[in-house]
């Protein structure tokens, strides 16, 4: 398991790490039961604040990707639901965030099209 972040990217360090972990879980590179590095170890390795890693781990746990077992670490969790269901949840969250930011629907859709390479 390898993670890397680019401090010069327009994407936040939090989002970069969050997406990388999810991608590795969904690709099967990180399988159920895989123990993630400790918050402190990963923060040191990536040269980011421990708060950033802790926040990512909390979000991954809230989204059902990992479970935290206290001193026993953070493990990749078995995931229920289909890819379609997960994508629909992400789309709903994206739409809510776009509305919250006051982004016109046409602009939000343009961003999605660009991200998909359309």
Name 75's bridge partners.
35, 67
Token pair, residue 11, equals 């994407």
Task: Domain count for the chain, please give it.
Answer: 2
Q: Has residue 59 been placed in a domain?
A: yes
- 110 and 68, same structural domain? no
- Most confident region among 17-21, 64-68, 112-116 by mean pLDDT: 17-21
**Shared domain check, 95 and 44:** no
Query: So what's the pLDDT on residue 12?
Result: 93
Beta bridge partners of 74: 68
Q: What is the pLDDT of residues 13-43, one digit of tens each?
A: 999 999 999 999 888 788 778 899 999 999 9
pLDDT at 56 over 60: yes
- Model pLDDT, residue 79: 65
Same-domain status, 31 and 59: yes
């Amino acid at each position: 398991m390898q993670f890397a972040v680019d401090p010069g990217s327009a994407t936040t360090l939090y989002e970069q790490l969050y997406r990388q972990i999810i991608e590795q879980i969904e690709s099967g590179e990180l399988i159920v039961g895989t123990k993630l590095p400790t918050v402190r170890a990963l923060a040191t390795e990536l040269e980011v604040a421990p708060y950033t890693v802790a926040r990512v781990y909390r979000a991954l746990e809230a989204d059902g990707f990992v479970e935290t077992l206290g001193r026993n670490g953070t493990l990749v969790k078995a995931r229920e639901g289909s890819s379609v269901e997960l994508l629909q949840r992400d789309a709903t969250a994206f739409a809510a965030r776009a509305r919250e930011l006051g982004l016109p629907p046409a602009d939000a859709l343009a961003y999605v099209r660009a991200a998909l390479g359309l």
